[in-house]
Amino acid sequence: MSERTRRIPEATVARLPVYLRSLLGLAEDDKAATISSERLAELAGVNAAKVRKDLSYLGSYGTRGVGYDVEYLLFQMSRELGLTHDWPVVIVGVGNLGQALANYGGFTDRGFPIAALVDADPAKVGEMVHGIAVRHIDDLPAIADGAGIAIGIIATPAGAAQEVADRLVAAGITSILNFAPALVTVPAETSLRKVDLAVELQILSFYQQQRAGPRAGVTVARTS
Amino acid sequence: MSERTRRIPEATVARLPVYLRSLLGLAEDDKAATISSERLAELAGVNAAKVRKDLSYLGSYGTRGVGYDVEYLLFQMSRELGLTHDWPVVIVGVGNLGQALANYGGFTDRGFPIAALVDADPAKVGEMVHGIAVRHIDDLPAIADGAGIAIGIIATPAGAAQEVADRLVAAGITSILNFAPALVTVPAETSLRKVDLAVELQILSFYQQQRAGPRAGVTVARTS
DNA sequence: CTGTGCTTGTGAACGTGAACACGTGCGCCC
DNA sequence: GGGCGCACGTGTTCACGTTCACAAGCACAG
Ligand SMILES: NC(=O)c1ccc[n+]([C@@H]2O[C@H](COP(=O)([O-])OP(=O)(O)OC[C@H]3O[C@@H](n4cnc5c(N)ncnc54)[C@H](O)[C@@H]3O)[C@@H](O)[C@H]2O)c1
Ligand SMILES: NC(=O)c1ccc[n+]([C@@H]2O[C@H](COP(=O)([O-])OP(=O)(O)OC[C@H]3O[C@@H](n4cnc5c(N)ncnc54)[C@H](O)[C@@H]3O)[C@@H](O)[C@H]2O)c1
């Protein structure tokens, strides 16, 4: 096995889950043992060459003239993504969004069981959500440690986001998904991703507005 | 001689809302009339040169040696993003997520009022959520038309996502935000963005696994 | 009015990822 | 067992976005 520069581009990492889901999705009825890059590309909504290049980062798991063995590919992708075991998750902020996330079964199904819910509001502590008791955020270190939690989700108001992130980091959590519309900074060795719905809507608004026609006929002038 | 309407790179469009929020965030106490690219960069968590280049796509609204006039910049950015008026939104799928979104005030605050809720389940139709009556998806064309809705949010199970997207498009909606973990295709003149939480978690999982050690084996390292 | 300091605006270098094209190797057919 | 076709793997080219560095230009002081 070559252990050479296996650095996988970020863009590729982001597509692997999509390939994974595409493969899981076909399963049953369309039970072919192998799949071509072209077919997978179609399922995932990308270009076939991109699929091949992406998969090549994992190793040479395809067979020329045939395609990729579906089962084996699934295994390798899961392994690479670290999905061979569960990653328990803690949700911070059991409000509107936090509860929706907690009640959603899709995470547990995909290997991300909700292991704990925490909140700063004493009124929420003790409440049961989806069979899990809400605990106080001060207990975070003990909770994270006890359950071996490595991933935290921030679902608090924006004002509390940075503080919550700091507490998550202090509790030993090294991967954070932030839903609050606020800039959060974490140490370099901590992963941080954000999901910002308002930004998504504003991006849609931009293109919508663009189409609506700010003075049609004005074409792009070459600028150089 | 000002070159207006330069094509704005997608990456820049995605950052404009962040700048906008940063500016709105400082407002009150820190009420300086102008702001430098360096300061704004710090607030938005990016590089100062990037801020300047991004803002330059909007036009030359800065003053050398001084900075950008905050009020004027806010106006120009809002105008460019199409935020000078509201964009009513329809949410399709009033389940877990759909209700959380409907109950969230942040969208209305930012100019994206929830104008309608629709669902395919007869049991849900008529239900009131956040003061809005859930209507049947068959009424979508009439609803969209009547309220002048241009943006739709898909919050249905993955299996229904493509069908819902088709119906949104048929109803004249040209911007779609998809929360369902499914590949959805739309006509070229329709904007589509997706938010996929499971993918986000899997990306975090990858880097987490990466840190845990390339040769750590498949068992969980419970060394907390 | 001229000099000085400061921050913008932007050409150019650089880096990364996407797309392409084709060489490569495997399976299969004859 | 040799040739043929097919789909992978990948070097190359291209496009885009980021970063750098600095000239340009404005405010203000003297
Ligand atoms: N609800 C949505 O659909 C939605 C959509 C997009 C973004 N968001 C964002 O997600 C975040 C949560 O939204 P929400 O609607 O659930 O808000 P919410 O007010 O309903 O819930 C926030 C929860 O966080 C808790 N909290 C506050 N400060 C805390 C702290 N320091 N530590 C721990 N817990 C704390 C509160 O007690 C509350 O339970 C917000 O930042 C919001 O902007 C929500
Ligand atoms: N709940 C979450 O926190 C969460 C998180 C991530 C992703 N998601 C995704 O968001 C989507 C919705 O999740 P949910 O938990 O709200 O599911 P849900 O089952 O609670 O709600 C789905 C709703 O969609 C309606 N629906 C089904 N088919 C429809 C159709 N053809 N037209 C109109 N409405 C239809 C159902 O009646 C139901 O009300 C799913 O795709 C899920 O994977 C949800």
Pocket test for ligand 1, best of A91, A92, A94, A96 (most atoms within 8 A of CB): A96
pLDDT at B212: 81
Pick the CATH number of A89-199 from 3.40.50.620, 3.40.50.720, 3.30.300.30, 3.30.565.10: 3.40.50.720
Q: How far is CA B107 from the centre of its chain?
A: 10
Task: List chain A residues with pLDDT less than 50.
Answer: 1-5, 216-224
- Count A/B contacts: CB-CB distance under 8 Å: 199
Q: How far is the CA of A34 from the C1' of D4 (A)?
A: 22
Residue pair B137/B119 in contact by the 8 Å Cβ criterion: yes
| Chain A contact for B32 (CB, 8 A cutoff) | no
H helix or E strand, kind and range, residue B14: helix B10-26
Alpha-helical segments (H) within B45-196: 48-56, 70-81, 96-103, 106-109, 140-147, 158-170
Least Cα distance to A192 among A178, A206, A207, A203 occurs for A178
Chain B residues closer than 8 Å to A214 by CB: 5
pLDDT at B2: 39
- Tell me what the pLDDT averaged over chain A comes to: 91
Q: Cβ-count burial of A29 within 10 angstroms (0-12 exposed, 13-18 middle, 19+ buried)?
A: exposed
DSSP code at position B162: H
Residue at minimum CA to C1' distance from nucleotide C4:
B65
HSE, side-chain direction, 13 A CA sphere, residue A191? 21
Ligand nearest to the CA of B180: 2
* Cβ of A69 below 6 Å from ligand 1: no
Which residue ranges make up each domain of chain B?
Answer: 3-80, 89-199
So what CATH class is A3-80? mainly alpha
Chain A residues closer than 8 Å to B222 by CB: 148
Exposure string (b/e) for A82-117, b if CB count within 10 Å is 16 or more?
bbeeebbbbbbbbbbbbbbbbebebbeebbbbbbbb
- Asked if the Cβ–Cβ distance from A183 to B83 is below 8 Å, we say no
pLDDT along chain B (224 residues), means of 10: 66 98 81 90 97 96 94 96 97 97 94 97 96 97 96 98 98 98 96 97 97 56 33
Chain A residues closer than 8 Å to B81 by CB: 202, 205-206, 209
- Domain A3-80 and domain A89-199 have a common topology: no
- Nearest nt (C1') from A14 Cα: C17
Residue pair B20/B78 in contact by the 8 Å Cβ criterion: yes
